């Protein structure tokens, strides 16, 4: 499989009122995060190393990368990423549905404040940073409208869970649950087929469940230093409950179907606008 990019939950902090921008509206400095509980956040075990710009660093491509991988055009990438975000916000039924659901839940999204295009480690395509309540789109990885739509929807499911469901990202079961929901509602159906290119349609329920389990496990492993066994156990512990929870999209999006549009049209019936 070509597609290896993962989403990850960037960091964790005590839940903040989403309407109150965090005290630090600037990029967080994980080393100096004032942590009421006096816990030292290890940047690596919390996935911060995957998002160098989250630490206030400017991404600097090495000579080797400039020569061989064509990097060194971050400004262009950022603009193009922001254009794709804007396009999805205007045109993607899924993204619009998530934005409406967040708004109705009291966590309205302001594009400038809550969505950031950044250069990330090439192993991740996006992330959700609960410390700043921000979705990160990895501009060097998610380069197409389709991928940006996938990342936005996936990360906004984490944002929704954080807003609505009292999520504690330090709790492995909670993390597994929100990753199961994100994989279930997006990656293992319509979106995966769209941007992985090589995905076979997961029509059979068994296959769909396996896909969700695998994807959720990979997402947990991408940012937490736990063993595969621990990640699998957490996913299995919460699977049936979290797999059945289809809020706020209301249905699994099947490939090549009108589900995505139907979900958006029906959203008002569930109280989302």
Task: Reduce the DSSP state of residue 55 to 3 states and report it.
Answer: helix
User: Is residue 136 part of the contact set for Zn ion (CB under 5 A)?
Assistant: no
> Residues 81, 137: contact at Cβ < 8 Å?
yes
Known active-site residue 155: yes
- For Zn ion, the binding residue among 5, 7, 177, 220 (CB under 5 A) is 7
Binding part of the chain for Zn ion, among 69-77, 207-215, 217-225, 233-241 by CB under 5 A, reads 217-225
> Residues 221, 48: contact at Cβ < 8 Å?
no
Chain-centroid distance, C-alpha 95: 12
- For Zn ion, the binding residue among 116, 167, 219, 264 (CB under 5 A) is 219
**Residue 109 CB coordination number (10 Å):** 22
Q: Draw the binding track, 169-198, toward Zn ion (x: CB under 5 A; -: no contact).
A: ----------x--x----------------
Nearer to Zn ion, 74 or 120 (CB): 120
Nearer to Zn ion, 29 or 123 (CB): 123
Q: What is the 3-state secondary structure (H, E, C) of 127-174?
A: EEECCCCEEEEECCCCCCHHHHHHHHHHHHHHHHHHHHCCCCCCCHHH
Q: Which residue is nearest to Zn ion (CB)?
A: 7
Binding residues for Zn ion restricted to 65-84, rule: CB under 5 A: none
User: Is residue 125 part of the contact set for Zn ion (CB under 5 A)?
Assistant: no
DSSP 8-state secondary structure symbol assigned to residue 58:
P
Nearer to Zn ion, 74 or 234 (CB): 234
Least distance (Å) from Zn ion to the CB of residue 169? 10
The contacts of residue 134 (CB under 8 Å, 6+ apart) are 113, 114, 115, 116, 128
Least distance (Å) from Zn ion to the CB of residue 127? 8
Q: Draw the binding track, 242-261, toward Zn ion (x: CB under 5 A; -: no contact).
A: --------------------
What does the alpha-carbon distance between residue 227 and residue 232 come to, in Å, rounded to a whole number?
Answer: 9
Least distance (Å) from Zn ion to the CB of residue 38? 28
Nearer to Zn ion, 53 or 179 (CB): 179
> Residues 160, 248: contact at Cβ < 8 Å?
yes
Least distance (Å) from Zn ion to the CB of residue 182? 5
**Residue 38 CB coordination number (10 Å):** 6
Least distance (Å) from Zn ion to the CB of residue 230? 17
The contacts of residue 205 (CB under 8 Å, 6+ apart) are none
Nearer to Zn ion, 187 or 208 (CB): 187
Active-site residue (options: 155, 210, 229, 266): 155
Least distance (Å) from Zn ion to the CB of residue 126? 8
194: left (phi over 0), alpha (psi -120 to 50) or beta: alpha
Length reported for the chain: 273
Nearer to Zn ion, 84 or 186 (CB): 186
Residues that bind Zn ion (CB under 5 A): 7, 179, 182, 219
Positions marked active-site: 155
């Amino acid at each position: 499989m070509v597609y290896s990019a993962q989403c990850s939950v960037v960091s964790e902090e005590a839940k903040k009122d989403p309407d109150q921008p965090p005290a630090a509206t600037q990029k967080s400095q994980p080393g100096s995060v004032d942590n009421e509980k006096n816990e030292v956040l290890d940047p690596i075990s919390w996935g911060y190393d995957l998002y160098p710009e989250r630490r206030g660093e400017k991404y600097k491509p090495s000579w080797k990368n400039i020569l061989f991988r064509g990097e060194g055009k971050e400004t262009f990438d950022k603009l193009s990423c922001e254009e794709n975000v804007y396009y999805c916000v205007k045109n993607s039924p899924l993204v619009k549905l998530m934005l409406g659901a967040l708004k109705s839940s009291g966590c309205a999204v302001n594009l400038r404040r809550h969505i950031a295009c950044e250069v990330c480690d090439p192993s991740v395509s996006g992330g959700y940073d609960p410390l700043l309540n921000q979705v990160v789109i990895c501009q060097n990885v998610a380069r197409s409208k389709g991928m940006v739509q996938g990342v936005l929807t996936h990360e906004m499911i984490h944002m929704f869970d954080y807003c609505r469901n009292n999520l504690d990202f330090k709790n492995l079961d909670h993390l597994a649950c929100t990753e199961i929901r994100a994989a279930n509602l997006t990656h293992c159906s319509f979106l995966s087929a769209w941007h992985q290119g090589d995905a076979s349609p997961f029509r059979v329920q068994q296959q769909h469940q396996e896909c969700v389990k695998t994807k959720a496990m990979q997402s947990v492993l991408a940012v937490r230093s736990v063993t595969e066994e621990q990640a699998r156990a957490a996913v299995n512990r919460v699977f049936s409950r979290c797999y059945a929870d289809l809020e706020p999209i209301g249905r699994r999006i099947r490939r090549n179907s009108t589900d995505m549009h139907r979900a958006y049209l029906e959203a008002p019936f569930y109280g989302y606008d």
